[in-house]
Structure 1
């Protein structure tokens, strides 16, 4: 059971809507403009909150400044239940639009299996190469399934 503090400072049992509302508040606090991402786990948790509910693939970019403070988190591409087309040109354009120095890319696997496919590995390499041309660092690529897979933690970046 989950309890939350009500407006009268008394705790009450939370229903599903309360839990969803609290999750959105946590997400907004951690991804608000200017918030520094102080650890990979903080970014991972917030990205999971954003991507876990989708029943189709969604590709997002978390745009960061030089101190890894959040500039924006944008959903750039949507796909089907088993894939999404990602275009490096559009990621580069968005990075320039936000004047980002670094970014974290992420997408979900509605199947729940977070292991990267060959296509995931290829697009990560293409994005890293394209963004390097404009001096934007790719810090990580997260795949959200039942768990969150990190390319950086597995030495793939």
Structure 2
């Protein structure tokens, strides 16, 4: 019987994880083309978030930085946490938004538990980030919470 090597997550073989990583890279490259039309598909963002984070065993918080036409300037995973929490620092998000000259942002993070339902802590940090970024005229368009099976949008729920 052939030996099968598993990735760090334990959910996928090393080869399967490489395929998922490549899919995330392709989606990221499609998002980050500067002459691309404005970001108009929440489904593309959801796919990017799901492929990037769904299989992680620890929480990761990322930000997609957009220009004033909602074209993607960059995307970055800013904070990494534990199996059930990630510390998010508004100061660092503001600093990065200024460095990217962003006009708007989209947040995304995962729930390794498999339940994408946003917690009260998720809602509180999103509100703090909205307030901090408003001081520098950067709009928050959405915050996606990703699990292995589902993705929840704050904007679709009317929370942003």
User: What residue number does 1:23 align with?
Assistant: 23
Q: Structure 1 unaligned segments of length 5 or more: list them.
A: 1-14
5+ residue gaps, structure 2: 1-14
1:147 is aligned to 150
Measure the CA separation in 1 of the matches of 2:90 and 2:22.
Answer: 34
Paired residue secondary structure (2:70): coil
Q: Structure 1 residues 132 and 143 mapped into 2: Cα distance closer, same or farther (>3 Å)?
A: same
Normalised TM-score (structure 2): 0.83
Count, aligned residues: 143
Q: Is the 1:27–1:50 contact (alpha carbons within 8 Å) kept by the matching residues of 2?
A: no
Contact 2:20 2:51 in 1 (8 A): no
Q: Which runs of 4+ in 1 moved over 3 A?
A: 15-22
Structure 1 stretch displaced more, 57-66 or 40-49: 40-49
Residue 65, structure 1, aligned to residue 67, structure 2: yes
Cα deviation 1:4-58 (Å, max 9, x = unaligned): xxxxxxxxxxx74784365145323323241442211111111111111211000
The equivalent position to 2:138 in structure 1, one of 131, 136, 139, is 136
Structure 1 CA distance, aligned partners of 2:122 and 2:59?
A: 12
CA distance in 1, matches of 2:117, 2:107: 15
**Contact (CA 8 Å) 2:24, 2:48: kept in 1 or not?**
no
Residue 48 of structure 1 aligns with which residue? 50
1:110 partnered with 2:109: no
Deviation per CA, 1:70-129, whole angstroms, max 9, x where unpaired? 111011100000000001000000000000000000100000100010100000000001
Q: Larger Rg: 1 or 2? A: 1
Once residues 17 and 112 of structure 1 are traced to their aligned partners in structure 2, the CA distance between those partners, rounded to angstroms, is 18
